[in-house]
Amino acid sequence: MTRELICINCPMGCMLTAEVEGGEVTKVSGNTCPRGEQYAKTELTAPVRTVTTTMKTAGGKPVPVKTKAPIPKDKIFDVVAAIKSATAPLPVKMGDVVLENAAGTGVDIVSARSMNNA
């Protein structure tokens, strides 16, 4: 089976063509760098995403947060639900872990901005 996709690893946006046999990517073409081949293989066998959103804080204002590493694509809604049910303590510094092991993924949620108590 042939699959076409656009690489999102860099601004080039290469149009990739991947040959898939037995659930495995056997050939990738159209990429201008090795990252395109790796992207196609991951996207077609075990897609992952970085989640960015906001989390409420003890002070009431939201703080931007993100996953510390990409998570399996099928866990996005579970991770967002876990973030929405949690509250970040204040003060918080950029990079602080505000939620450990989000939705059992093994990936922590970190603050994307520093925020004081005020």
pTM: 0.84
Domains of the chain as residue ranges with CATH: 2-46 (no CATH), 52-111 (3.10.530.10)
Task: For residue range 95-115, list pLDDT tens digits in order.
Answer: 999 999 999 999 999 999 999
Determine the Cα–Cα distance for residues 10 and 1; give it in Å rounded to an integer. 26
Judged against a pLDDT cut of 80, whether residue 47 lies above it is answered with yes
pLDDT in the model for residue 80:
98
Residues 64, 52: contact at Cβ < 8 Å? yes
Question: Residue 117: which pLDDT band, with cuts at 50, 70 and 90?
Answer: confident
pLDDT of residue 85: 97
